[in-house]
């Protein structure tokens, strides 16, 4: 090979070697403003001590430099490094185990690669990362994207820190979104209550949230009124004591008070009988204990005297007797002091909480009233059909609950065929009425019409039919509960405040109950069928003499009552489980509603439903852990009520009154 060829090959090899070598790392811009801020606190940052790092983080956050957020982000992510030779800070990506790709904080430019042994990685602990995260909040709160600002507020709401207060105060005046500004103002008020060092500012913030029922408000106020029991020779006169306690009272037991004296070194500890006995046994010497014969230690007083002699001799620790305890308790004052905040702030919080608790109680009563109204509407729907058949026909229909079940299963079947929950419910309501109307007519024609004027046999026959219908439902649909899904627009609840709310499904059932009340009144008062039903109800013989067919009216009335039960089943199935036994859950309440309200009277049924629903919810409120007991008490009350009002709230004259 010629010299020229060898020279050319050597040049190519050299170029390839240089190309394969990593790029020589450049140094970050030491004159950049962000680098100067870092260098000003360089040693503190390098040591990464939570006790001393605060000023460095605050300086970065307050610098106003656009690169400050990048520095804090990389620092928290453990991607910030420091050049050991120059002391300059930069961020880096680890290419492999020994090599870094470096970037300048000033402009994010790529500084090339370098071995990692010339750089120190900064690894902040969890405490420092928390401080960095708090400092980053102000950048997130100023983000142009409102969703990002909302996420920042959510993060503060979840885990607030004192540093967040200053960040909120800095950005809130510039917030343009009204909803976010309201959230910021509320959050700033709550953080002021919790973290502000100015007592006047905290009290003003507490006064602003007075009467607010939000759980976040109570969560901010409750820690401020925390107290502990302290003891001193006399009550302090600086106003720090909340109130004096009497040992042995409800707030401070006698033993607890003396234990507090012992804890503070103000009295000797008490000694239990077993410990005292063990100490005496350990110091038996020649049949005596401290000169007292063992045989004479048969009483507690004798043992106390022997132990006291040992204590005077320095053999055992001194122990207090009951008399000593009483004397010690009389010598000291016990009192509560606030521990969660200065007395003035705590007193303001206590006053605000008292007002809130009063308002909470009133709203709980309103919420209980809504629950009772909701339950009453359900019972009214379930009982209205029973009121019709029971009042007009003197038929005790124990299968009424199964018509409710049939209506619910009709809704389930429709939803399997018809797409769209809204359309399926609209179709299911009239179809459930038709199915249960037909079933009611068939039942009346095949069974009930042969048992008129024989109530006991009617009760037994319909009870048998109810069992048969349950078994048929089990054979068709199985024993597993079937879903009857409500439309999406019925999801969720109408939330009035943090205490009062009601689900949209129950609102829909309430509206449905009102519609049926209006429909029933229209049919009974404005149609020929209603006129004939009322005539048969009042006097069937006179109605027959006027050309009305009582048997036909009975059939239609029974079918109509059964159809209404089917519609009630669709409504109830939207929030309750749909099973073959679901009707049994409502039959007892339906009968109670009808009997309490007044047999055969629609207004009585309405009042009876309101009374039964309110009574059940009221008893459950007093005894929330035992629903069965609540229902038992309710039945007992109904029995007592019937003793004084056997015909119900509104008694109906005519045949129904004879039932």
Inform me whether the pLDDT recorded for 659 exceeds 50: no
pTM reported for the whole predicted model: 0.65
Of 280 and 91, which is predicted with more confidence? 91
Delimit the domains of the chain by residue range.
21-128, 142-225, 361-658
Inform me whether the pLDDT recorded for 19 exceeds 50: no
Q: Label residue 85 exposed, middle or buried (CB < 10 Å: 0-12, 13-18, 19+).
A: exposed
DSSP state of 599: T
Q: How far apart are CA 395 and CA 462, in angstroms?
A: 9
When pLDDT is averaged across residues 151-165 and rounded to a whole number, the result is: 82
The pLDDT of residue 656 is 42
Give pLDDT tens digits for 546-590.
888 888 888 888 888 889 889 989 988 888 888 988 888 788 888
The pLDDT of residue 14 is 46
If you search the block for the tokens 């401290």, which residue do you land on?
Answer: 290
Give pLDDT tens digits for 514-547.
888 888 888 878 888 888 877 877 777 887 888 8
DSSP state of 21: S
The pLDDT of residue 469 is 92
Inform me whether the pLDDT recorded for 624 exceeds 80: no
Q: How far apart are CA 438 and CA 474, in angstroms?
A: 21
Question: Is the domain defined by 361-658 classed in CATH 1.10.3470?
Answer: yes
pLDDT band (50, 70, 90) for residue 654: very low
Q: Is 241 left (phi over 0), alpha (psi -120 to 50) or beta?
A: beta
The pLDDT of residue 434 is 94
pLDDT band (50, 70, 90) for residue 627: low
Give pLDDT tens digits for 228-249.
888 887 777 766 777 778 887 7
- Sign of the torsion formed by the C-alpha atoms of 105, 110, 116 and 119: negative
When pLDDT is averaged across residues 168-187 and rounded to a whole number, the result is: 87
Inform me whether the pLDDT recorded for 114 exceeds 70: yes
- C-alpha 209: how far from its chain's center? 21
If you search the block for the tokens 């500012």, which residue do you land on?
Answer: 201
The pLDDT of residue 405 is 93
Give pLDDT tens digits for 26-67.
777 778 888 888 888 888 888 877 788 888 888 887 787 888
E runs forming strands in 458-510: 493-495, 501-503
**Mean of all residue pLDDT scores within the chain:** 81
- Answer for the pair 505, 493: CB distance below 8 angstroms, yes or no: no
- Answer for the pair 523, 391: CB distance below 8 angstroms, yes or no: no
Give the largest CA-CA distance in the chain: 140
């Amino acid at each position: 090979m010629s010299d020229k060829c060898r020279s050319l090959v050597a040049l190519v090899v050299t170029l390839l070697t240089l190309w394969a070598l990593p790029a020589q790392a450049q140094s970050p811009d030491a004159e950049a403003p962000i680098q100067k801020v870092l260098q000003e606190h360089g040693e503190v940052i390098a040591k990464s001590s939570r006790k001393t790092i605060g000023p460095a983080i605050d300086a970065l956050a307050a610098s106003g430099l656009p690169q400050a957020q990048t520095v804090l982000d990389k620092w928290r992510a453990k991607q910030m490094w420091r050049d050991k030779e120059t002391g300059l800070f930069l961020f880096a990506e680890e290419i492999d185990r020994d090599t870094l790709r470096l970037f300048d904080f000033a402009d994010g430019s790529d500084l090339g690669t370098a071995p990692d042994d010339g750089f120190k990685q900064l690894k902040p602990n969890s405490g420092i990362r928390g401080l960095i995260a708090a400092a980053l909040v102000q950048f997130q709160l100023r983000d142009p994207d409102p969703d990002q600002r909302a996420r920042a507020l959510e993060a503060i709401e979840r885990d607030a820190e004192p540093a967040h207060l200053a960040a909120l105060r800095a950005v809130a005046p510039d917030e343009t979104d009204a909803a976010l500004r309201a959230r910021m103002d509320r959050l700033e008020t709550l953080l002021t209550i919790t973290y502000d060092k100015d007592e006047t500012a905290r009290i003003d913030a507490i006064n602003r949230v007075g009467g607010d029922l939000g759980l976040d408000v109570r969560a901010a106020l409750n820690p401020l009124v925390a107290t502990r029991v302290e003891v001193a020779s006399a009550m302090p006169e600086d106003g720090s004591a909340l109130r004096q306690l009497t040992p042995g009272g409800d707030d401070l037991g006698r033993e607890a008070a003396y234990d507090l004296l012992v804890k503070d070194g103000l009295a000797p500890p008490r000694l239990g009988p077993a410990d005292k006995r063990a100490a005496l046994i350990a110091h038996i010497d020649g049949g005596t204990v401290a000169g007292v014969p063992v045989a004479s230690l048969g009483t507690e007083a004798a043992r106390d005297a022997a132990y006291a002699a040992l204590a005077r001799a320095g053999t055992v620790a001194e122990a207090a007797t009951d008399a000593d305890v009483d004397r010690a308790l009389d010598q000291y004052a016990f009192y509560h002091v606030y521990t969660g905040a200065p007395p003035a702030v705590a007193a303001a919080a206590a006053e605000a909480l008292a007002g809130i608790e009063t308002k909470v109680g009133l709203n709980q009563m309103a919420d209980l009233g809504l629950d009772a109204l909701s339950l009453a509407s359900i019972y009214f729907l379930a009982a209205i059909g029973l009121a019709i058949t029971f009042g007009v026909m003197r038929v005790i229909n124990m299968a009424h609950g199964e018509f409710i079940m049939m209506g619910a299963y009709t809704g389930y079947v429709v939803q399997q065929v018809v797409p769209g929950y809204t359309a399926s419910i609209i179709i299911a309501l009239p179809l459930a009425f038709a199915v249960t109307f037909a079933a009611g007519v068939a039942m009346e024609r095949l069974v009930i019409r042969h048992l008129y004027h024989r109530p006991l046999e009617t009760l037994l026959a319909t009870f048998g039919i109810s069992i048969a219908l349950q078994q048929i439902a089990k054979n068709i649909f199985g024993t597993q509960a079937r879903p009857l899904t409500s439309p999406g627009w019925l999801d969720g609840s109408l939330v009035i405040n943090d205490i009062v709310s009601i689900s949209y499904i129950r609102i829909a059932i309430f509206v449905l109950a009102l519609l049926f009340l209006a429909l029933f009144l229209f049919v009974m008062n404005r149609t020929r069928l209603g006129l004939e039903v009322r005539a048969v109800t009042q006097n069937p013989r006179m109605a027959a003499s006027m050309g009305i067919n009582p048997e036909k009216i009975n059939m239609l009335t029974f079918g109509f009552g059964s159809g209404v039960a089917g519609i009630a089943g669709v409504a109830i199935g939207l929030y309750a489980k749909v099973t073959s036994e679901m009707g049994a859950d409502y039959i007892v309440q339906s009968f109670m509603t009808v009997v309490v309200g007044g047999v055969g009277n629609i207004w009585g049924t309405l009042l009876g439903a309101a009374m039964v629903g309110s009574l059940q919810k009221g008893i459950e409120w007093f005894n929330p852990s035992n629903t069965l007991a609540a229902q038992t008490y309710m039945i007992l009350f109904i029995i007592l009520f019937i003793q004084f009002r056997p015909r119900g709230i509104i008694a109906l004259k005519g045949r129904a009154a004879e039932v």
